[in-house]
Amino acid sequence: MNNLFSTPIPDEVKTLLRTKLSAATAQAATAEQLAKQLQHWLNHYSQLYYQTANSPLPDTDYDYLFDLLNKIEHVFPDLRTPDSPTQRIGDGLSSNFATITHTIPMLSLDKAYSADDVVGFDTSLRKLLGESADEVSYTVEPKFDGSSIALLYENDILVRAATRGNGTQGEDITANVRTIPTIPLRVNLSQYGIVRAEIRGEIIIHKQRFDQLNAQLVAKQQNPLANPRNAAAGALRLKDASKVKERALEAFIYQLAAAFDADGNDILTQQCPQHYDNVLLLQQLGFRTPAAPNHNAFYQTDNIQAAIDFVEQWRQKRDDFDYEIDGMVIKLNQVALQERCGATAHHPRWAIAYKFDAKQARTILERVEFQVGRTGAITPVAKLRPVALAGVTVSSVSLHNEDFIRDKDLHIGDTVWVERAGDVIPYISEVDTDQPRGEQAVVFPQYCPSCQSQLYKPEDESAWRCTATDCPAQIEEHLIHFVAKEAMDIQGLGRDIVSRFFELGLLKTIEDIYRLDFNHLKTLDKFGEKSVENLRNSIEASKKQPLYRLIIGLGIRDVGKATAKMLAQTVEKDLPELQQWTVEKLQTLPDIGPKVAANIVQFFAQDNNLQLIDNLRALGVNTQQSEDAKRIERGILSGYSFLFTGSLQRFSREKAHELVEQHGGKLLGSVSKNLHYLVVGENAGSKLEKAQKIGTINILSEDEFLALLPQEE
């Protein structure tokens, strides 16, 4: 077929181009024959175009054949097959996306940031495989910065496409994926005995197409798309499949994840034993893969250093690639060995993503805003001329504190270099002194930007703070923090709504949340009766939240979830009891040091905070430790502290923490003499070594930990 791709337009196609609609639809038998020919050739030229970016068939001729097929199928609907090119258009609006379960989980990838990390991966893998280590070979391919998908083919037909979702379940986006020309609707897998297959890949947007889309949006005075990855993911979730096609999405396929024969037997290892060969097969079957000859992005080797060298080559030319990539993926080539290595709850042990270094971009520092946080800390934020960096548009970065500004010698108008740490967090790395300097130095304010109170800098801190209790910015941030998901979790009171209510004077204190006039809210724009009723119910439900959530919501400095739970467990009757606790007594609790203890004592020493708690109690908010919480405190693990380390196999880390808390145990964040049990998974590191040196800590396996729990666990 490759020879056929390079030949001139066949006579059969030329004949089709001369076919008139009236003749095509005169008889059903003629129409059926023509439909099959048109479907074949349209798929043929579509595949050729999207694999090589070239086709001998002009666009006008392609459009004519497409319209002819579409009209034939309209007259004879029974001729419209699932793999027909006309089915890429989409069927309009879908009401929602159904949830589906992946054939096998779509896990994340473990990450490496240096050559030493990759060598460590190779060493661990060979140790895991034992005598089979000599059989190891690797493949290397791009880590596309897009949206992962799973494609299910049955009897050669694409029957389902799904997002990655949570790794176990994803959203059914079949209608939208049908619009993507680089995903074949029919694939001849049956010639290899494969009746059912799940194929993995990434949906992406060409860099040039992304720039075109943004130019069109700007011309329409609409907000541009943030980055190609979000643009691709957002398009896949559009409810109108016909609009998905406008994004010009593309797909790169990188894995044959599962293969079954007609009897339902798993034949992946037997029929497709090498990942490298599988990707070449997928390329041959019509998918676009990293093995495409024009990309030279797919490599096989039995030497880990050679794999590292290939990554380094791509590190140098990533900017010249037509698509955003943020690293290269090194995979164990042998499928049977992959299965032997298995996976953790998070990632397969047989693959690792070698991430590229942070990218740099140059832009202009236009101004600096000084923002007031909930605790009064002043954070300088640089506002930059928007610049594309590693797949995102950066226009705002934190300057951290006064020392950072002074060390960088920042001036408004400076040309600065911006990097993304780990390709995630943007920051100013340096000023480009080869460019003209800005005239106005960035000077840290002496007074609060919100309330104009004089700022104060504690001796042991790098942050300047506003200490005014009536500072509007702090009050607003306190309100936002109190209703947040990790605190009182009041749905319907997000940041924007709280800010709006604060500006309107509806919320001035935390107590005002429980005094809102819901009838008045119904008079506000965008607040219908249903939304107001939902908000009322959410506020009412928050009154029954467990005590630790209220402690979080009160915003005591340096008191997070774990400390809040610990404090709640110490309460016998009511929260104000904590005003009797001294710094020394608080430090007897696990993981509470002198600084946190001092913050807690200071909070409960202030009359206005105690009055706030009294007011909330009077408004019906729970300020007591519940009986259920007390029962947990008396659980089988009560009085014992736990820490988990290494890669857990029997349960996720989140589930492990849940089990400890359900049975009254306490979780610690580090190894110390206060720790009773260290539960060790695979590849445990420094925590295990430190615990062994202390000598008084009980070291348990996962099974031994489970044995501590009641039988039903």
- Going by the DSSP 8-state scheme, the letter that residue 91 receives in this structure is -
* Residue 143 annotated in active site: yes
Q: What is the full DSSP assignment across 463-479? A: S-B---TT-HHHHHHHH
Task: For residues 680 and 703, give the distance between their C-alpha atoms in angstroms, rounded to a whole number.
Answer: 10
How would you write 568-583 as a 3-class SS string? HHHCCCCHHHHHHCCH
- Yes or no: say if 291 and 283 are a contact pair by the CB < 8 Å rule: yes
Record the tokens describing residue 317, joined without a space: 């030319």
Crossing angle of helices 115-129/304-317, nearest 10°? 150
- Yes or no: say if 391 and 214 are a contact pair by the CB < 8 Å rule: no
Task: For residues 7 and 15, give the distance between their C-alpha atoms in angstroms, rounded to a whole number.
Answer: 16
Q: Which long-range contacts (CB under 8 A, 24 or more apart) does 160-167 make?
A: 160/100, 162/100, 162/102, 163/233, 163/236, 163/237, 164/106, 165/99, 165/102, 165/106, 167/102, 167/105, 167/106, 167/107, 167/108
- Yes or no: say if 78 and 231 are a contact pair by the CB < 8 Å rule: no
- Going by the DSSP 8-state scheme, the letter that residue 442 receives in this structure is -
Record the tokens describing residue 356, joined without a space: 């590229």
How would you write 73-85 as a 3-class SS string? HHHCHHHCCCCCH
In terms of residues, how long is the chain?
A: 713
Record the tokens describing residue 360, joined without a space: 């740099």
Write down the catalytic residue from 20, 36, 143, 457: 143
Task: For residues 36 and 79, give the distance between their C-alpha atoms in angstroms, rounded to a whole number.
Answer: 8
Within 13 A of 514's CA, how many CA atoms are on the CB side? 19
The CA distances from residue 189 to 269, 290, 609, in Å, are 15, 19, 69
Active site residues: 143
